[in-house]
Homo-oligomer: A and B are copies of this chain.
Amino acid sequence: MAEAPLFERLCLVGVGLIGSSIARAARKAKLAGSIVATDASAEVRRRIVELGLVESAPADPAEAVRGADCVILCTPLGTYKDIVRRIAPNLRPGAILSDVGSVKSCVLADVGALVPKGVHLVPGHPVAGTEHSGPDAGFAEIFEGRWAILTPPAGADAGAVERLTRFWAGLGSTVEIMDAARHDLTLAITSHLPHLIAYTIVGTAAELENVTAAEVIRYSAGGFRDFTRIAGSNPVMWRDIFLDNKEAVLEMLGRFSEDLTALQRAIRYGDGKTLEDWFTRTRAIRRGVIEAKQA
């Protein structure tokens, strides 16, 4: 007899790049008996049924979560409060409620009090993605070899954490349990600040009056194109990330600005030694990324 799947019924709320990738990967790894999903967009709901990603796609989140033993929010962080308010009455006792948001302290703060007794809130964050959005952009392999971070609150149900760990491992990720505040600080430098800077410079380039957008695009292979890729990410999702991880982002941004000013000064005064020393040190980090197979 085949082993029972990890979850009887998996419910995904929001089916963009990450939600649809979870559906694909969970289906491939047979981690759920059935998958149901909901999305604010009727077009997306139609499409995910057409793609065969889910058994059903009701419009009402409260309807979608009924009977699910695992519910994962895959929508922008700013939508969590409303969604949890709507689904809370229908959450099955013993169910796991998780998410995939890029900031974690705010999840507990925003929805912790709204989660019914007996439902296990275990926030999560797969450190994976592309700049593409929508259910057609997802793919089952996106989580393979990537880290999935879980930030269970103090006193979280050990069994629930363990099941969610097995779920993400089943999707191909290496799972790390971490304190939410530490997560937010770490991701502020490895993800949030890089996105902010990329968004900034692409915007700066688009506004120049002395170089045209066509020229910027034409000669983008010199480095700029990598920034445009990052700056092509979902605007609403990223708006919410910056608003929800304000303190850590501002802290990292302050350090970055100091360093940039130091290099700016070195350029202005022709201090080649400072520049070369700095550029030499950064090579070691690149080697580390390659050795850790995250390149």
Contact = CB atoms under 8 A, between A and B. Distances in A.
Interface of A: 78, 102, 127-129, 131, 146-147, 149, 185-187, 189-208, 210-211, 213-233, 235-236, 238-240, 242-243, 246, 249-250, 252-253, 255-257, 259-260, 263-264, 267-268, 270, 272, 275-276, 278-289, 292, 294-295
A217 B288 CA distance: 6
A295 B229 contact: yes
B286 A191 contact: no
A289 B225 contact: yes
Contacts of A252: 204
Contacts of A257: 257, 260
A232 B286 contact: yes
Contact of A226 (B230, B243, B256): B230
Copies in the complex: 2
A224 B147 contact: no
Given A239-B275, A279-B235, A200 B286 contact: no
Nearest to A128: B221
Contacts of A272: 78, 239-240, 243
Given A147-B221, A267-B250, A268-B250, A286 B210 contact: no
A274 to B, nearest CB: 9
Nearest to A230: B223
A229 B282 CA distance: 10
Contacts of A270: 243, 246
Contacts of A280: 235
Contacts of A260: 196-197, 200, 253, 257
Given A201-B193, A218-B147, A259-B204, A285 B223 contact: no
B199 A279 contact: yes
13 contacts: A129-B221, A131-B286, A186-B216, A191-B224, A196-B267, A201-B256, A226-B230, A228-B286, A232-B286, A235-B275, A246-B268, A249-B267, A253-B267
A288 B231 CA distance: 13
Contacts of A218: 147, 292, 294
Nearest to A279: B235
Contacts of A240: 272
A205 B190 contact: yes
A278 to B, nearest CB: 5
A96 to B, nearest CB: 23
Contacts of A224: 189-191, 194, 289
6 tightest CB-CB pairs across the interface, nearest first? A191-B222, A232-B286, A235-B279, A194-B223, A231-B282, A202-B282
Given A197-B260, A267-B246, A294-B225, A231 B127 contact: no
